[in-house]
């Protein structure tokens, strides 16, 4: 059986109670409702294409850890991965993302040090179960200040 298209996957996830943030050519990103009227990216996505998979993005925000190096910030993001790795996730990539001021693109507000993890799944039922578990993971390193 071939993997569903993103549109088919989106419909299947909505019928299972998931809220969608955005759909692209190869993924359906889930939403996190932080307030009744505000949807945000949850850092969890269902991937389709070569097969089904779940992606989780873990991060450390530089503004939360002043003076730390990129290496230290990536280590903080990776430290969040223990629960995900225990579920079969594997690191696929890492990147630094500059967050610009929406009113002034020349002004940097923060830099996020992200580490991406993925886990393949067999079918839509396993995908739905894994997405629910992934939404519960801690995805951002917290400052102890």
pLDDT digits (tens, 9 = 90+) for 24-62: 999 999 998 766 666 677 899 999 988 999 999 999 999
pLDDT score of 1 more than 70: no
DSSP per-residue codes, 18-67:
PPEEEE-SSEEEEEEEEETTEEEEEEEEEE-SSSEEEEEEEEEEGGGSTT
pLDDT for the residue 145: 52
pLDDT for the residue 35: 63
Domain boundaries, the chain: 6-136
Compute the distance between CA of residue 2 and CA of residue 101 in angstroms, rounded to an integer. 42
pLDDT for the residue 71: 97
């Amino acid at each position: 059986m071939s993997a569903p298209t993103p549109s088919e996957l989106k419909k299947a996830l909505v019928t299972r109670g998931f809220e969608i943030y955005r759909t692209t050519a190869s993924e359906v990103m889930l939403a996190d409702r932080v307030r009744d009227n505000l949807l945000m990216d949850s850092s969890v996505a269902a991937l389709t294409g070569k097969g089904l998979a779940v992606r989780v993005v873990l991060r450390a925000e530089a503004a939360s850890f002043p003076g730390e190096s990129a290496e230290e910030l990536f280590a903080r993001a990776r430290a969040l991965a223990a629960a995900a790795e225990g579920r079969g996730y594997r690191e696929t990539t890492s990147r630094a993302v500059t967050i610009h001021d929406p009113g002034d693109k020349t002004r940097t507000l923060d830099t996020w040090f992200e580490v991406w993890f993925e886990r393949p799944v067999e079918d839509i039922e396993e995908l739905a179960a894994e997405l629910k578990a992934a939404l519960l993971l801690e995805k951002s390193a917290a400052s102890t200040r």
